[in-house]
Structure 1
């Protein structure tokens, strides 16, 4: 028996220069141009040319941030009053020890604690920036921080950066408190 072996010629993946891609994309963006016709005329696959077009559009859009206007800052009361029973919040703490509400005994009992109402200053935020491009919610804080660094050069202290997903129904917040990232 004679065996016939047919070998395919080695097909190398073609590489195209950025200039060539830009030239093809520019032709495709002209009014009335057919992407398939331009691709066929240049010996290219139309899907590849469409991918080049979408990559060129994405490259034009650099991710940015828009500042969010904050209302005037209100300072937390330095000496919160716990005398008004209607203005306190009670939280059960499963520890058999006395409460230390700002150095004033609240008389709530060994398993209760009182907190004064109003804003409690934990992390100072001077600016809030809203991302203009969506962020994949599976991304961790390192990817969000990379986007902040790409735009600003570094994370600014006392700033919050808000990221939304593509649908706009979920948000991720990255906060730099001057010491680290939250």
Structure 2
């Protein structure tokens, strides 16, 4: 195996089950006893970078209902309280 090679991609290319191929590779590595090679194949883990996220500024629209019947119109406007 070469560093950075995807076992799943190799399995897919050769129409093999990826889990079965991974088991075969692990068994072969255990037989060969080459921990240096396995160490070379590991991908370094990325660093955690904290992000500052401000308070969400979601505007809640008011609810407005308008009912018309003939010449009569009734309007109702409801204000939304966002403190709860």
TM bracket, shorter-chain basis: 0.3 to 0.5
Taking CA–CA contacts closer than 8 Å with sequence separation of 6 or more, which of the two structures ends up with the larger relative contact order?
Answer: 2
Q: Which has the higher helix share?
A: 2
TM-score (norm 2): 0.37
